[in-house]
A and B are shown apart, each in its own frame.
Chain A
Amino acid sequence: GIQVEQSPPDLILQEGANSTLRCNFSDSVNNLQWFHQNPWGQLINLFYIPSGTKQNGRLSATTVATERYSLLYISSSQTTDSGVYFCAVNTGGFKTIFGAGTRLFVKA
């Protein structure tokens, strides 16, 4: 089955710094989502981005489907950005495959 790899596994930033999270996938996908899991455990939708580039405030994402990767950019990081970021892909069926996540800690 399709493999989803996220890097880095852990990231510590000083407040105000920028960062790039990466998601590689091993096969063609119909969709790709980025989620932020907050400290209380809820998964928050960030982007639905099977291809192209989207921006939402300090966050943006780019998926290059032909090269099988997606990037999540966080600019001017804040302590509230802390948590785990998941990439999840779907190849057309009901099943969604999640990466292992990137754990981000932003220091004040």
Chain B
Amino acid sequence: DVKVTQSSRYLVKRTGEKVFLECVQDMDHENMFWYRQDPGLGLRLIYFSYDVKMKEKGDIPEGYSVSREKKERFSLILESASTNQTSMYLCASSLSGNGGTKAYEQYFGPGTRLTVT
């Protein structure tokens, strides 16, 4: 089974702090994604990566950056946390565009509930 893990289930940070959210997958997936989920707004894509050191902006990249130095790890960075970044953050991975019928099947981690005070 695919396993996607996230570094923290709950995190409380202060405004202005630099925050790192880590995601690791163990199935050699090419693609990795960061979403945030807010009540009434559903899941929104922040960034995704289709290969090591490659990244693309999603729908709401402002205030975030990402890093993918190794295939299995994808980090989300809040350079200077703000209260409007309080949210549930979900990491996902999928095989690749050449993966046949299961290429785009996404697997999610347990999520990180981040509170910025």
Contact = CB atoms under 8 A, between A and B. Distances in A.
Given A41-B88, A43-B90, A98 B43 contact: yes
Interface residues on B, range: 20 to 34
A33 interface: yes
A92 B107 CA distance: 17
Given A42-B111, A43-B90, A96 B50 contact: no
B25 interface: no
Nearest to B108: A43
A35 to B, nearest CB: 7
A86 B43 CA distance: 10
Nearest to A41: B111
Interface stretch (B12-20, B68-76, B78-86, B98-106): B98-106
A94 B110 contact: no
Contact of B105 (A43, A48, A92): A48
A101 to B, nearest CB: 7
| Max chain A Cβ within 10 angstroms of own Cβ: one of B42, B90, B101, B104 | B104
Contact of B110 (A33, A41, A95, A96): A41
A94 B106 contact: no
Nearest to B58: A95
Interface string A52-93: 000000000000000000000000000000000010101010
Interface of B: 31, 33, 37, 42-43, 45, 48, 50, 56, 58, 88, 90, 92, 97, 101-111, 113
Q: 8 closest Cβ contacts across the A-B interface?
A: A43-B108, A41-B111, A90-B104, A42-B110, A98-B43, A48-B105, A31-B104, A100-B42
Interface of A: 30-31, 33, 35, 40-45, 48, 50, 86, 88, 90, 92, 94-96, 98-101
